[in-house]
Amino acid sequence: MNEEGKWKILERLDLGELVTFVPNKDRPIHNWFHFKEGFSRDLVAYLLRIHGASRDIRVLDPFMGVGTTPLTCKELGYRSIGIEVNPLFHFIARAKTNKYDPDEIDEWIKWVSRLRYRPVDLGGVSHLVRKAFNPHNLRDIIFFRDRIMELDDDRSRDFLLMGLINASSKVTYAVKDGAVIRFRKKPTPPFREFYIRTLRKMKKDVMTTRLHDTETILILGDARKMDMIDDESIDLVITSPPYLNKIEYTKVYEIETELFLGRHRIIPLRSYIGLVYRGREIELPIDADNLPKSAVAYLKDLWTVIRELYRVMRPGATAYLVVAEGLYRDRKVPVDTLLAEIADQEGFRDIEIWVVNKRVVTIERTVKLGVARESIVKLVKE
């Protein structure tokens, strides 16, 4: 218990790997796109299990990323709602949670193999994207993308474009290294055959993974304004907001966004959670005088999300939020305890902080900045 008895702190280092994307590497469908910032299917399955969740509950992930929570719910037979602000991740979540029939996939693969190549003009392609691929591969990727975008049927388009994103991520020279993209040239296979092999592998994944017919609602939207969700309609929340001071998603995924979604203008995020804040400025319900400005903005956004969660959760519902301490050159911002304090003021009870990881954080790759705590904050609505 903390000194005022408002929350408990528990050490749960056994969950350390589960809050990362690593276990998804070998999980069919989950591994169609490697999302370093995501958590694992096993974490979602574990939380559903300890919650003793009955099948008719509705699960919410307001920061769903590439859809780990909704996909796991669909595998295990739970209804779910996911919200994501970034159109690329929202698309990937949809493509992974669609139900496909292996026979129709065969037809789509046949269609792809029969396409006759037409020369592609790289004129409008940015320097960044050109740097990321061997020019032959890039031409092939754009050729397939343009043909796929002409398809009328949503599901074939989703599946084939997902396959294209999957295959191109394996042949790119771009490497995501924390908050920056680096380029490393390497030998790559001829793209056309590689793409078809990837689609065949995805078909196998579809055949070995049983998805239930349970309702899955994926919303392209902002977690701070969940207008589309009714009051007291959610039984369980499993989510991971972006970490304070961690990465700029719009920058690191710029190549995929330009190539597969066109040049979307994504409004810069103010604290990596909220879009630029346009409403009335709010005062945090905690003492924030000594916090860096970016941490205050971040916590204000998180507070808005916490208030929305309180509104949409049913009495007795539980929320699990994966967060991490923010590290600055001269101090640490304990996001977990600050979040617990905010949640307590909003009326959440039985608050627990499970410390799951203690990570060494470096800047400029080698300079050690300190150790950051990663935690799951558990909240119960009274």
Ligand X SMILES: C[S@@+](CC[C@H](N)C(=O)[O-])C[C@H]1O[C@@H](n2cnc3c(N)ncnc32)[C@H](O)[C@@H]1O
Question: Which residues contact ligand X by CB under 6 A?
Answer: 35, 37-39, 63-66, 68, 83-86, 89, 222-224, 240, 242, 249, 269, 273-274
| 290 to 2, 34, 50, 287, 372: CA distances (angstroms) | 21, 37, 38, 8, 19
CA 127, 128, 131, 136 torsion-angle sign: negative
* CB of 361 closer than 8 Å to CB of 369: yes
Q: How many CB atoms lie within 10 A of CB 132?
A: 24
User: What are the backbone angles phi and psi of residue 296, rounded to the nearest 5°?
Assistant: -65, -45
* Residue 37 Cβ vs ligand X, minimum distance, rounded to whole Å: 4
Contact 70, 82 (CB under 8 A): yes
Kindly tell me which of 192 and 378 has the beta carbon lying closer to ligand X: 378
Q: What angle do CA 74, 80, 85 make, to 5 degrees?
A: 110
Considering the complex, state which of residue 61 and residue 341 has its C-beta at the smaller distance from ligand X.
61
Q: How far is CA 355 from CA 179, 281, 283, 361, 373, in A?
A: 24, 32, 28, 16, 7
Residue 39 or 100 having the CB closest to ligand X: 39
Write down the H helix ranges in the chain: 41-50, 68-76, 87-97, 102-114, 127-131, 135-149, 154-171, 191-208, 249-252, 254-261, 293-312, 335-346
CB of 18 to ligand X, least distance (A): 11
Measured from the CB of residue 272, what is the shortest distance to ligand X in angstroms? Answer: 6
Report in angstroms how near the CB of residue 38 gets to ligand X at its nearest.
3
Query: Which CB sits closer to ligand X, 64 or 295?
Result: 64
Name which of 85 and 105 has its Cβ closer to ligand X.
Answer: 85
Cβ-closest residue to ligand X? Answer: 65
Closer residue to ligand X in complex, CB, 71/132: 71
Measured from the CB atom, the residue of 38 and 191 that comes closer to ligand X is 38
Q: List, in order, residues 6 or more apart from 6 with CB less than 8 Å away.
A: 340, 341, 344, 351
Measured from the CB atom, the residue of 195 and 260 that comes closer to ligand X is 260
Q: Which is nearer to ligand X, 43 or 338 (CB)?
A: 43
Cβ of residue 49: shortest distance to ligand X, in angstroms?
A: 18
> In sequence order, which ranges of 218-264 are alpha helices (DSSP H)?
249-252, 254-261
Pick 6 or 359: Cβ nearer ligand X: 359
Q: How far is the CB of 106 from ligand X (least distance, A)?
A: 29
Instruction: Tell me how far, at minimum, the Cβ of 90 lies from ligand X, in Å.
Output: 9
Helix (H, G, I), strand (E, B) or coil at 267: coil
Minimal distance, residue 58 CB to ligand X, in Å: 18
Cβ at position 236, least distance to ligand X in Å: 15
Q: What angle do CA 373, 291, 361 make, to 5 degrees?
A: 30
Pairing relationship of beta strands 332-333 and 326-327 according to DSSP bridges: antiparallel
Q: How far is CA 142 from CA 120, 138, 320, 366, in A?
A: 7, 6, 40, 37
281 burial (CB, 10 Å; 0-12 / 13-18 / 19+) is exposed
Alpha-carbon span 123 to 136, nearest angstrom? 14
Closest approach, Cβ 338 to ligand X, in A, equals 18
